[in-house]
Structure formats: structure tokens, C-alpha cells
Amino acid sequence: MRFEIDCPHADNAHIAATYSVGAHYSLRGLLPKVDEVIQFGKDLGLKYIVCSSPMLKDPARAKSAEFHETMQAMTLNDWRWNAEHFNRIGERVNAAGIRFGYHNHTAEFRTENGMVCYEELLRATDPAKVTMELDCGWVVVGGKNPVNYLTRYPTRFSMLHVKDFKKVGAASTSEPPPSAELGRGTIDYRPIFEAARKAGIEHAFVEQEGYDMPEMEALKIDADYMHALTV
């Protein structure tokens, strides 16, 4: 498993060029230019092209086009509609020698009619065409346990995003808690990485969502935590 420090405020091209692992796109941005994105990925030698922002089947249902509004309006039918697009895009991306994936936030862990939306997304996407980048911090904020998903679906994940929060109380799919440096928050990553190792995760990206100290000091705390976390 490869551990990397990822700055979410950098542009995609910089991240991709630095790590040659992957780049994130919204589905809205992907749909009209899949071939262009694939060529960009090939030029940079990317291993993954990842969708990190879904779409509503009917955008008019959201109060605005803002990411937060879209995610709050998502239903099971919207996730199924997205899964159909992910399968089609994944087939094209995979044919070019790159893997296609999806990165979660928190709205995926809402329950509708007794069904967790993320689990329906896993069911509706073809494992041969769509892998998953599991953002462990958002899973926890959404009220679920990353270990459970890594254990129940060990072949569905290729990458992790790693972040921590000062306080995670009741499940929330709207307002995130304050960010914390790794080891100074509430998430115990040891069992998560034990499950990730068994699941064959290839890459883990540390994301520091916010800072109450100089950025490089916070990133050093994150890096020291990761180096000390032997599993």
C-alpha cells in the first residue's frame, strides 16, 4: 500500500503530475468530454480517473447547482442513474488502460426505504468497470464504519482518502465537523488500515481539510502519524 499526502486545494493537473496516480472530475464535467479526459490521463500516465461529484437525473430538483444542494437532493433513483453512467464511462476509460473510479462524500450513506444509497451504488456498478476510492473520513461522518465496507466488499476498493475530525457525533450528511490532524481527532485508523491491507488497497491519500496552524506543520503531523501507524 502506498501512502501519499494530498492537498485538496491544488488543481487536478498539479496533483496528477505530482503523483501520477489519478485526477478527480465531476460527472457534469466528464459527460461531454470523456475522450478529452482520457487523453489527458494518458498524457500524464494516470492510473485512475475518478468521479467525485454525481449529478441529479433532473437538476431542477435542487435549489441550486451547488455541490451541497445536489448531494442533499440525491435519491436512490439518482444513484442508480449515476451508476449507469459510471458503467459506460468506466468501460471507455478502462479500454484506454486507465481505471475508472468513484469517490464518496457523506450523502451516499443516507438510507432510503431501508437501503443505504452507497450499497445500492456498489450493487449497481460493474466491478470490472468501476472501482471505488473510499473516503474514510466522510464514511465516519456519514454514520458508517469504513472497516465494514472494506470487509464486506474487499474487491471493490483500490484507494483510500484519509482524514480526521475533532468531533464526530451523530451521523451528518450535511455539515461536516471541524477538521483535525491525524491522531488528534476521533478516528482510529489502525483497524481501518488492517482491513485495507487485507483488501489489497493500492494507494492511501491523506487529506487535510482545514488548518488552525501553518499548513506544513499540519501536514508534518499527518505524515508522522502515517509513518508511525504500522499494521
**Is the overall model pTM greater than 0.85, yes or no?**
yes
Per-residue pLDDT at 4:
46
Per-residue pLDDT at 64:
84
Q: What sign does the CA torsion over 193, 152, 108, 11 have?
A: positive
Q: How far apart are the first and last CA of the chain?
A: 11
**Tens digits of pLDDT across the chain (231 residues):** 444 444 443 344 434 344 579 999 999 999 999 999 999 999 999 999 999 999 999 988 888 888 989 999 999 999 999 999 999 999 999 999 999 999 999 999 999 999 999 999 999 999 999 999 999 999 999 999 999 999 999 999 999 999 999 876 666 666 788 999 999 999 999 999 999 999 999 999 999 989 999 999 999 999 999 999 887
Residue 206, domain extent = 2-228
Per-residue pLDDT at 128:
98
d(CA 85, CA 220): 39
Whole-number CA gyration radius for the chain = 17
Per-residue pLDDT at 120:
98
From residue 170, alpha-carbon distances to 137, 140, 142, 222 in Å are 14, 10, 9, 25
Number of domain units in the chain: 1
CA dihedral 139, 38, 93, 116 (to 10 degrees): 20
d(CA 192, CA 162): 10
Angle at which helix 34-44 crosses helix 12-19, to 10 degrees, equals 40
Per-residue three-class SS string for the chain:
CEEEEECCCCCHHHHHHHHCCEEEEEHHHHHHHHHHHHHHHHHHCCCEEEEEECCCCCHHHCCCCCHHHHHHHCCHHHHHHHHHHHHHHHHHHHHCCCEEEEECCCHHHCEECCEEHHHHHHHHCCCCCCEEEEEHHHHHHCCCCHHHHHHHCCCCEEEEEECEECCCCCCCCCCCCCEECCCCCCCCHHHHHHHHHHHCCCEEEEECCCCCCCHHHHHHHHHHHHHHCCC
The two beta strands, 115-116 and 111-112, are antiparallel
Per-residue pLDDT at 9:
39
d(CA 135, CA 231): 19
CATH number for the domain spanning 219: value is 3.20.20.150
Per-residue pLDDT at 16:
39
What grid cell was written down for 102? 468513484
